[in-house]
Amino acid sequence: MSTTPDSTLTFKDFKTDQQVKWCAGCGDHSILVQLQKVLAGQRTDRDHTVFVSGIGCSSRFPYYMDTYGFHSIHGRAPAIASGVKCANPGLDVWVVTGDGDALSIGGNHFLHAVRRNIGLKIIMFNNRIYGLTKGQYSPTSDFGTRTKSSPAGSIDHPIHPISVAIGAEITFAARAVDTDLEHLQYVLARAAAHQGTAFVEVYQNCTVYNNDCYSWATDRQTKHEHIVYLEHGKPLIFGNNRDKGLRFNGDEPEIVELAKVSPDDLIIHDERTHDPSTAFMLARLTHPEFPEPLGVFRAMEKPVYEDLLMGQLAAARDQQGTGNLQALFRAGETWDVA
């Protein structure tokens, strides 16, 4: 349903006539263009694609994407998108959200969309700050972050979005960085192809309120010391010289120098395993103690909500025939008055 034979599509066909109003240098620009490129590359049928967003800088996204779009209210995009998907399962439905939108005011809807494994592709721009309201700490801000609403430092502990998603039984979870264009496209393309709920966390720089919060992951000189790419079936190796790896020491992950261990000792990434515990561990690796994983944490097959929903309707019709109103009205005891 999502593709047409139109091979002439380019990313420009996904641009609207609306002026993009994000700040210069904002990571949102990059995510928009990479997704436009991915959709064009996949020959996506724009008429059968819907972008739903909540509130926040990221949530202006639908205005700039030439598909159907709905810019909704704070935190509620997964719920609105669920309604869209149930009403027309043939649509490709994307949710664009931010860390505050998805995990604070919308935390409940996020959890339950994930739990249902409904066919939504949820892209969460995580800049670890409230940008649109001008710079308060968010649910992913580091402990101690000083902002206008936390001048003495935030006393809230941050949550790890992917571990939250894993806890809610996510079937596809991935992470990318706004400036790593090729990898971002790869991750978005994987999400686009997933059946069920796909969750992508994008590390996104807010130039105004939280500038350089991911410089450790974007600086060309040093980033390979601080991030590790997840590749299915391959060992977790990182470092500028690819000389370090991650292995289990008992239940705990630890960094090892490749020179001192056998490659067989390293953790081999398995995005398809049913046991979520390794993915959960990976989701909790944080800079600077550990390299932070980028890529696909988890990609599982599991029955999809909208298929189950429509399947129950079809099964009922198979067994009982298509509904007849007059028969429905007369269900139970009736009597005639002459």
Nearest to 37 by CA among 184, 216, 253: 184
Interface with another protein, residue 152, by CB under 8 A: no
Q: Does the footprint of another protein cover residue 8 (CB under 8 A)?
A: no
Cβ partners under 8 Å of residue 292, min gap 6: 175, 217, 226, 227, 228, 285, 286
Choice from 3, 10, 16, 215 touching another protein (CB under 8 A): 16
Closest Cα partner for 115 from 164, 175, 54, 187?
164
Comparing CB distances to another protein, the nearer of 21 and 242 is 21
Nearest approach, Cβ of residue 109 and another protein (Å): 5
The interface with another protein within residues 40-69 (CB under 8 A) comprises: 46-50, 52-53, 55, 62-63, 66-69
**8 A C-beta contact, residue 125 and residue 133:** no
Cβ distance to another protein smaller for residue 84 or 258: 84
Q: How far apart are CA 213 and CA 209, in angstroms?
A: 10
| Residue of the chain from 30, 34, 72, 145 that contacts another protein (CB under 8 A) | 72
Least distance between another protein and beta carbon 318 (Å): 10
* Subset of 298-337 contacting another protein (CB under 8 A): 309-310, 312-313, 315-317, 320-323, 325-326, 328-330, 332-337
- Residues 74 and 56: their CA atoms lie apart, in Å, by 8
Q: Show contacts with another protein in window 86-115 (CB under 8 A).
A: 86-88, 90-91, 108-109, 111-112
Question: In whole angstroms, how close is the CB of 12 to another protein at the nearest point?
Answer: 15
- Indicate whether 71 belongs to the interface with another protein (CB under 8 A): yes
Alpha helices in 42-87 (DSSP H): 77-87
Among 15, 43, 70, 181, binds another protein (CB under 8 A): 70
- Beta carbons within 8 Å of 133's beta carbon, 6+ residues apart: none
| Pairing state between β 244-249 and 292-299 | unpaired
- Binding residues with another protein: total (CB under 8 A): 60
Q: Does 168 bind another protein (CB under 8 A)?
A: no
Distance CA 19, CA 58 (A): 15
* Separation between Cα atoms, residue 186 and residue 34, nearest integer Å: 9
Angstrom distances, CA of residue 1 to CA of 7, 89, 243: 15, 10, 45
Contacts to another protein by CB under 8 A: 16, 18, 46-50, 52-53, 55, 62-63, 66-73, 76, 79-88, 90-91, 108-109, 111-112, 309-310, 312-313, 315-317, 320-323, 325-326, 328-330, 332-338
